[in-house]
Amino acid sequence: MQQETALLVVDVQASVVDWSQPTSEGSEEVLARINELLAKARAAGVPVIYIQHNGEEGGRLSPGSRGWEIHPAIAPVDGERVIRKRASDSFYETTLDEELRARGIRHLIVTGCRTQYCVDATCRSAVSHGYDVTLVRDAHMTVDSETLRAAQIIAHHNETLDDFGNDQHVVTVRESAAIDFK
């Protein structure tokens, strides 16, 4: 599995995590789980790819701002790729697909921020681009909406995305403890 798998860390940026803190239940725990996954992936030689959202100039995700930086609790190490995007879908107008294909990646393990936006869009797009996906059930976060609490949004997406796919590729949802990069 390790030669064909990559760990994808979507939009775990300082201001996104800080913004999630008041409403995303257990965001510190999510960061700890992502860190555990990073350690396991790195130990197994599995590529780690970070996705970093470029927001509007002057906004909280404005490139170069403190809030735009990858959260220091899970920061990349030397040699790990950071791909910048401007849309929810990490594949849209980025080099992600080319990067994955060049490495022979066919399976993505997805963690990250803003469950109903960037995590969801990236999982769905990955399947359409020909990748199998494991969404880590307890390693993504969001904020409350006007309609649902963050925990409800996360639970809904875990349920909705589990077994989502097509005849050839699928999203599977698994707990972080069940992820093995060997």
Q: For residue 43, is pLDDT > 70?
A: yes
Of the listed 14, 105, 118, 126, which one is catalytic?
118
Residues 47 and 78: their CA atoms lie apart, in Å, by: 12
Q: Is residue 17 over pLDDT 90?
A: no
pLDDT higher than 90, residue 23: no
What does the pLDDT read at residue 177? 97
Query: Is 113 annotated as catalytic?
Result: no
Q: Residues, the chain, total?
A: 182
Mean predicted confidence (pLDDT) in 83-105: 97
**Extents of the domains making up the chain:** 2-178
Enter the CATH code of domain 2-178: 3.40.50.850
148: buried, middle or exposed (CB in 10 Å: 19+, 13-18, 0-12)? middle
Looking at residue 176, its pLDDT comes to 97
Q: How far is CA 167 from the centre of its chain?
A: 24
Confidence of residue 22 (pLDDT cuts 50, 70, 90): low
pLDDT at 66: 86
